[in-house]
Amino acid sequence: MELWYTDEHTPDVRFSMKAVEQVVSKKSAVQQIDILDTPAYGRVLVLDGGLMITEKDEFIYHEMLAHVPMAVHPNVKNVLVIGGGDGGTVRELTKYRSIESIDLVEVDKDVVLLSKKYLPFTSCKLKDRRVSVWFEEGLRYVRGKKDEYDLIIVDSSDPYGPAEGLFTREFYGTCFKALREDGILINQHESPFYAAHQKSVRDAHSHIAVEFPLSTVYQGHIPSYPSGHWLFGFASKKYNPITDLDDKRWNRLKINTRYYNTDLHCGAFALPNYVQDILKEEKRR
Amino acid sequence: MARSVPAGAGDSQWERQRETPLADALDRQRINRLAHFDVPAHKSGRGNLELTEYLGSRAMAMDVNSMKPLDNLGHPVSVIKDAQALAAEAFGADDAFFMVNGTTSAVQAMIMSTCTAGDEIILPRNVHRSAINALVVCGAIPAYINPGQDKRLGIPLGMSIADVKKAIAEHPSAKAILVNNPTYYGICSDLVEIVKLAHAAGMRVLADEAHGTHFYFHEELPVSAMAAGCDMAAASIHKTGGSLTQSSILLTRRPVNPDYVRQVITLTQSTSASYLLLSSLDIARKNLFFKGREMYQKTMDFADYARSEINELGGYYAFGPELVNGDTVYAFDRTKLSVHTRDIGLAGIEVYDYLRDDYGIQIEFGDIGNLLAIISCGDRMMDIERLISAFEEIKRQREKSPIGLFDHEYIDPVIAMAPQEAFYAKKRRVPMRESTGLVAGEFVMSYPPGIPIVAPGERITPDVLEHILFAKEKGCFMTGTEDMDLNFINVVE
């Protein structure tokens, strides 16, 4: 018997990978959590049936979330990560000695516990002394915060299910308030390619654009995600992601990355025409 | 046996309440595949494929007419009779009537089976328009009790016992007292005491429980009408009890004569009652009996949490049981999330509009100083968090000075003539702004909540006019007048 895992990218498009073993199957208070071993993508985390990260290509996603803002903002000391219970984003952030504190807010405690046990490649830095982990609804955690963070990274699952609240205008607005006067908000921004996901891209972008003076998106190429073409949101109170990029400063840090570099940084903001059109349409709404 | 918390297996009531005779009969006829040569002409949806595609074939197959195995709502002898008897038992009533014309029709049936033309009925002025409509239809004369008022919130409360005693003394021949249990904002009068006073004076007590269905199923909620000894109650199962919109139940206790009540209902109720609505009442009743306590516990927990978080934000006041004063606020319905917005300089209706237009959040209503969100066991924690965060964001971005905001929702009415007399009187149309001092020939109200600012037969005072113009300016959905734009009002000549 062969075991295959299928991620439904749209009702009409499926992406399947052969699996050797199901390592974890657990129903948490929030969602169904599965961890599989696959020949092509290594160990894989699946939430409510949807693919979250794979051992093979998670570096692309996590590096793009963390290093793009870190190369722009000259003085990040306090960071908030919402979601990201697998620890991958935190792992990238701990590469910066200048960061003083990282708060990780994950709604599902079991994701963190299982990641610590079964996904060491992402969870390895969760025990860094600068990291505090909070098990709470992201919206609720941010609500009480004001002028506390230099950088907020929203490392959420898709905008249906437990992470719905993290794609709303009220969430982005409370993030704005929680950021200092030169703060940056980065978020997982879905894929522009399939019509079903395009709606999420449009909604997220229009909500962020109302709350932040500067907002745009950048892209990365993640083979296991729907269409492989993925967007990230860059919203900022002060810094421009291109003109404020300090590549000399960043390169002097000699941070080890496999995907990100400062040339790619600029390229990531050069968007295909159809994506530019989507953003323009949203601005006009 | 009212406020029925299931006793447990082995109990015969427990066994009975498991049954859904009406829904089962409907399901049997769906499976029987009868050849239909009766209405409706869509014949299980085959005659209107577009609608079937839209609503689903199961719903269409359930949409049938009265027939022998499905009983007849106007003259129930089998499955509807049985389903109504189970509802009566679940709610602690002697008789129950399924209603398909909304709770409006249940309120009207209560009044019309109690009063005839010229009879007096005691009622608080902050009733729903359906009650005053019944007076227009049957010609009963209202004896209004001014409800208590909360000066800070600007909202009408329940009736004080002193005022009820006074009204009974002044109108000894009144046929009944009508009580809101609770008001839209969740406020209850001392129902048990009112029943005692009314019955001693030979009057019925009629309860408008449009917002109180859940009182029957959790012991921490205010007392239900049937448990308090009321004679009749209109329970809006569709609002907080889980049945389909427009379905409702009228509950009665002996000595109210159920056969006469049925005749009165039949005067205005459809003779083609929808089986979708009727079966939803049957299934909702079973669900309430077995799961009601758990459902409303969850609802109260959500509402209590939201209240405390919203009050933490500052500026807003999400009011709750602390309003209880032993009289005009005898009890508070904790499932209601009512929020006073005036202190952040915004009308409730303005916050309502921002929530929907900017944040994609729909709430029940907003009026001048307050708004109301309906919480239920169907909510999810993340949606509650969204609502609270949206409140915080609206305050952060839109807060203003409260100076200049109109500060009360309730105005003591000046009655010039009975509602029926005014409604049918010779009238003329005048510009709204020039109507001061004249007698209204029609209603004006914001909908929701549907409590008239002015009703037929009442004088349009400067206060009334100011309230109407302010509510209109702030964007309340104003209804009642013949003129759809509310620039004109019909007044009695």
* Same structural domain, A219 and A133: yes
Q: Which residues of B touch A137 (CB under 8 A)?
A: 381-382, 385
Residue A137's pLDDT band, with cuts at 50, 70 and 90, is: very high
Q: Which of A162, A168, A177 is the closest to B386 by Cβ?
A: A168
* Same structural domain, A43 and A63: no
Q: In Å, how far is B74's CA from the nearest CA of chain A?
A: 46
Q: Which residues of A touch B389 (CB under 8 A)?
A: 139-140, 142-143, 165, 168, 170-171, 173-174
CB contact under 8 A, A171 and B389: yes
Name the packing angle between helices A169-178 and B348-359 (round to 10°). Answer: 100
CB contact under 8 A, A170 and B359: yes
Residue A174 has pLDDT above 50, yes or no: yes
Determine contact: A237 vs chain B, CB below 8 A.
no
**Average pLDDT over all residues of chain B:** 93
CB contact under 8 A, B382 and A177: no
Residue A126's pLDDT band, with cuts at 50, 70 and 90, is: very high
How confident is the model over B64-103, as pLDDT tens digits? Answer: 999 999 999 999 999 999 999 999 999 999 999 999 999 9
- A182 classed as catalytic: no
CB contact under 8 A, B389 and A170: yes
How confident is the model over A48-64, as pLDDT tens digits? Answer: 999 999 999 999 999 99
Report strand pairing: A179-188 vs A149-155: parallel
Which of A57, A150, A155, A158 is an active site residue? A155
Residue A197 has pLDDT above 90, yes or no: no
CB contact under 8 A, A140 and B385: yes
Q: Which residues of B touch A177 (CB under 8 A)?
A: 396
CB contact under 8 A, A168 and B382: no
Q: In Å, how far is A167's CA from the nearest CA of chain B?
A: 10
Tokens of B109: 């049936």
At residue B4, the pLDDT reads: 45
CB contact under 8 A, B389 and A139: yes
Residue A284's pLDDT band, with cuts at 50, 70 and 90, is: low
CATH number, span B12-290: 3.40.640.10
* Same structural domain, A167 and A253: yes
CB contact under 8 A, B389 and A177: no
At residue A58, the pLDDT reads: 98
Who's near B263: CB < 8 A, 6+ residues apart? Answer: none
Dihedrals φ, ψ of B179, to 5°? -130, 135
Topology (CATH) of B293-398: Aspartate Aminotransferase, domain 1 (3.90.1150)
The three-state secondary structure class of A270 is coil
The domain that contains A23 carries what CATH number? 2.30.140.10
Residue A38 has pLDDT above 50, yes or no: yes
Q: Which residues of B touch A165 (CB under 8 A)?
A: 382-383, 385-386, 389
Three-class SS of chain B: CCCCCCCCCCCHHHHHHCCCHHHHHHHHHHHHCCCCCCCCCCCCCCCCHHHHHHHCHHHHHHCCCCEHHHECCCCCCCHHHHHHHHHHHHHCCCEEEEECCHHHHHHHHHHHCCCCCCCEEEEECCCCHHHHHHHHHHCCEEEEECCCEECCCCEECCCCHHHHHHHHHHCCCCCEEEEECCCCCCEECCHHHHHHHHHHCCCEEEEEECCCHHHHHCCCCCCCHHHHCCCEEEECHHHHCCCCCCCEEEEECCCCCHHHHHHHHHHHCCCCCCHHHHHHHHHHHHHHHHHHHHHHHHHHHHHHHHHHHHHHHCCCEEECHHHCCCCCCCEECCCEEEEECHHHCCCHHHHHHHHHHHHCCCCCEECCCEEEEECCCCCCHHHHHHHHHHHHHHHHHHCCCCCCCCCCCCCCCCECCCHHHHHHCCEEEEEHHHCCCCEECCCEEECCCCCCCECCCEECCHHHHHHHHHHHHCCCCEECCCCCCCCEEEEEC
* Same structural domain, A28 and A101: no
User: Measured between alpha carbons, how far is A170 from A172 in angstroms, rounded to an integer?
Assistant: 6
User: Measured between alpha carbons, how far is B159 from A228 in angstroms, rounded to an integer?
Assistant: 65
Residue A118 has pLDDT above 90, yes or no: yes
Quote the number of domains for chain A: 2
Q: Which of A143, A168, A210 is the closest to B392 by Cβ?
A: A143
* Same structural domain, A89 and A154: yes
Q: In Å, how far is A285's CA from the nearest CA of chain B?
A: 13
How confident is the model over B22-73, as pLDDT tens digits? Answer: 999 999 988 887 888 999 999 989 999 999 999 999 999 999 999 999 999 9
Query: ipTM score of the complex?
Result: 0.90
Q: Which of B309, B358, B386 is the closest to A165 by Cβ?
A: B386
Average pLDDT over residues A209-216: 95
Among the three residues A54, A79, A96, which one is the final residue of a domain in this structure? A54
User: Measured between alpha carbons, how far is B60 from B276 in angstroms, rounded to an integer?
Assistant: 9
Q: Answer whether B416's CB lies under 8 Å from B422's CB.
A: yes
* Same structural domain, A45 and A164: no
Determine contact: A139 vs chain B, CB below 8 A.
yes
Determine contact: A77 vs chain B, CB below 8 A.
no
Q: Which of A139, A169, A210 is the closest to B385 by Cβ?
A: A139
Domain boundaries, chain B: 12-290, 293-398, 419-492
* Same structural domain, A16 and A137: no
How confident is the model over B364-381, as pLDDT tens digits? Answer: 999 888 999 999 999 999
Q: Which of A139, A145, A157, A208 to mutate: most B Cβ within 10 Å?
A: A139
Determine contact: B390 vs chain A, CB below 8 A.
yes
CB contact under 8 A, B358 and A169: yes
Residue B472's pLDDT band, with cuts at 50, 70 and 90, is: confident
Q: In Å, how far is A173's CA from the nearest CA of chain B?
A: 6
* Same structural domain, A215 and A83: yes
Cis peptide before A74 (omega within 30 of 0): no
Cis peptide before A223 (omega within 30 of 0): no
- Identify the closest residue of chain B to A176 by CA–CA distance: B393
Average pLDDT over residues B240-265: 96
Residue A144's pLDDT band, with cuts at 50, 70 and 90, is: confident
- Identify the closest residue of chain A to B312 by CA–CA distance: A144
State the burial class of residue B201 (Cβ atoms within 10 Å of its Cβ: 0-12, 13-18, 19+): middle
At residue B3, the pLDDT reads: 41
- Identify the closest residue of chain A to B394 by CA–CA distance: A170
Residue B445's pLDDT band, with cuts at 50, 70 and 90, is: confident
Beta-bridge mates of residue B177: B122, B205
Residue A285's pLDDT band, with cuts at 50, 70 and 90, is: low
Q: Which of B358, B382, B396 is the closest to A165 by Cβ?
A: B382
* Same structural domain, A49 and A62: no
Determine contact: A174 vs chain B, CB below 8 A.
yes
Among A53-62, A194-203, B403-412, B440-449, whose mean pLDDT is lowest? B403-412
Structural domain span for residue A7? 3-54
Q: Answer whether B224's CB lies under 8 Å from B215's CB.
A: yes
Q: Please give the DSSP secondary-structure letter assigned to residue A253.
A: T
Q: Which of B357, B384, B386 to mutate: most A Cβ within 10 Å?
A: B386
Using alpha carbons, select from B62, B64, B79 the residue that is nearest to residue B19.
Answer: B79
Q: Answer whether A269's CB lies under 8 Å from A218's CB.
A: yes
* Same structural domain, A176 and A206: yes
**Average pLDDT over all residues of chain A:** 95
At residue B8, the pLDDT reads: 56
* Same structural domain, A7 and A147: no
At residue B449, the pLDDT reads: 80
- Identify the closest residue of chain A to B397 by CA–CA distance: A173
Residue B9's pLDDT band, with cuts at 50, 70 and 90, is: low
CB contact under 8 A, A173 and B386: no
Q: In Å, how far is B470's CA from the nearest CA of chain A?
A: 29
Structure pTM? 0.91
**Number of inter-chain CB pairs under 8 A, A vs B:** 51
Determine contact: B65 vs chain A, CB below 8 A.
no
Q: Answer whether A77's CB lies under 8 Å from A98's CB.
A: yes
Q: In Å, how far is A179's CA from the nearest CA of chain B?
A: 14
- Choosing among 1.10.1040.10, 3.40.50.1370, 3.40.50.300, 3.90.100.10, the CATH entry for B419-492 is 3.90.100.10
How confident is the model over A66-103, as pLDDT tens digits? Answer: 999 999 999 999 999 999 999 999 999 999 999 999 99
* Same structural domain, A86 and A219: yes
Q: In Å, how far is B59's CA from the nearest CA of chain A?
A: 25
Q: In Å, how far is A165's CA from the nearest CA of chain B?
A: 6
Among the three residues A34, A54, A74, which one is the final residue of a domain in this structure? A54
Who's near A112: CB < 8 A, 6+ residues apart? Answer: A85, A87, A106, A123, A126, A133, A135
Determine contact: B396 vs chain A, CB below 8 A.
yes
How confident is the model over B283-325, as pLDDT tens digits? Answer: 999 999 999 999 999 999 999 999 999 999 999 999 999 999 9
